[in-house]
Amino acid sequence: MPLTALETRLSQAAGMRYGLQMTKTPPPGDRIAKVLARAGVASRREAERMIEAGRVNVNGKTIDSPALNVTSKDKIIVDGKPVSEPEPSRLWLYHKPPGLVTTTRDEKGRATIFDNLPEDMPRVMSVGRLDLNSEGLLLLTNDGGIKRKLELPATGWLRKYRVRVNGRPKDEDFAPLRKGLVIEGERFQPMTVTLDRQQGANAWLTIGLREGKNREIRRAMEDIGFAVNRLLRVSYGPFQLGNLKPGEVEEIRRRVMRDQLGLDAEPDAHAKRPARPQRKRPGIGKKPRK
């Protein structure tokens, strides 16, 4: 039999008295950090930091906690600018040249990859990073959810690098890398290492890893006595650098992206785009994108 209003109140009071947790209907919508990430404003963690810094306003009120659900009816403003409805998820390949920092802002004033992108690119985030002197494939996306999915260790996608080291190594020198290293208390998972060829005073290697720790390959090589003087990422999971030239950007077709990432189909606002991905070159003489 259904409970009367009085019985319901008594039941709730008893639950509070004895510390019982009553089942509550979750509020409608999604957490604010997830919505900001989906709209391409920032990753979830970055969005949470923006909220704590007082940079996010919802329905005219500045919020200081990410513990808030919002719907499409809520008006969200970040840094004084309205947040628009999220566009369909998109993914790009980018050939990062050496000498650029993989960050939106650099405290030392160095050029970033975002300064170098074509002017018609939307606001995007990088999936992981390549350090200042590293080059090669970076994935870019307008969707913070995709960024998070691809960066999670559980994804475990193999990343392959072409690496040039100074010296004349032998195949057995790489046994510690294949087994897994511990450097300054930090454990590195086993890598695949192939000695490709000797070229003068340098040797070329192909290295595969499934993590993305800071300067992982350089630190591992230094630990076994070799200095890396060139590092080029050639693939990230199923996505390949191919013939993409430094500074070039190429969009992944949405169907390919969905298939590779296991995403559900979504309304395609760009359905009239050509079936083949278009390659974009940085404009010569154009002002860099801010």
- Summarised one tens digit per residue, pLDDT across range 220-240 is 999 999 999 999 999 999 999
Whether 21 has a pLDDT exceeding 60, the answer reads no
CATH fold for the domain made of 158-236: Alpha-Beta Plaits (3.30.70)
Catalytic residue among 131, 196, 259, 268: 131
Quote the pLDDT of residue 28. Answer: 83
Q: Model confidence over 74-108: pLDDT tens digits?
A: 999 999 989 877 778 899 999 999 999 998 888 88
Quote the pLDDT of residue 174. Answer: 97
Return the CATH number of 30-82, one of 3.40.190.10, 1.10.3720.10, 3.20.20.140, 3.10.290.10: 3.10.290.10
Quote the pLDDT of residue 145. Answer: 83
- 91-154+242-280 and 158-236: identical CATH topology: yes
Whether 135 has a pLDDT exceeding 90, the answer reads yes
Quote the pLDDT of residue 261. Answer: 85
Q: Model confidence over 175-225: pLDDT tens digits?
A: 999 999 999 999 999 999 999 999 999 999 999 998 878 899 999 999 999
Quote the pLDDT of residue 133. Answer: 94
**Rounded Cα distance, 57 and 232, in Å:** 41
Q: Averaged over 249-274, what is the pLDDT?
A: 71
> What DSSP designation does 209 have?
E
Is the distance from CB of 193 to CB of 177 less than 8 angstroms? Answer: yes
Confidence (pTM): 0.71
More confident residue, 164 or 154: 164
The residues pairing with 193 across neighbouring beta strands, listed in sequence order, are 207
**Rounded Cα distance, 102 and 131, in Å:** 7
Whether 143 is catalytic is no
With tokens 């013939």, the residue in question is 243
**Rounded Cα distance, 159 and 207, in Å:** 8
Computed on alpha carbons and rounded to an integer, the radius of gyration of the chain in Å comes to: 24
Strand stretches in the chain, DSSP E: 30-31, 56-58, 61-62, 69-70, 76-78, 81-82, 91-96, 125-127, 135-141, 159-166, 181-183, 186-188, 192-199, 202-209, 227-236, 239-240, 249-251, 279-280
CATH fold for the domain made of 91-154+242-280: Alpha-Beta Plaits (3.30.70)
Q: Model confidence over 28-78: pLDDT tens digits?
A: 888 898 888 878 787 788 889 999 999 999 999 999 999 999 988 899 999
Quote the pLDDT of residue 86. Answer: 73
Whether 276 has a pLDDT exceeding 80, the answer reads no
Quote the pLDDT of residue 266. Answer: 56
Domain boundaries, the chain: 30-82, 91-154+242-280, 158-236
User: How would residue 149 be classed by pLDDT, with cut points 50, 70 and 90?
Assistant: confident
Q: How many helices (H) and strands (E) would you count in the chain?
A: 7, 18
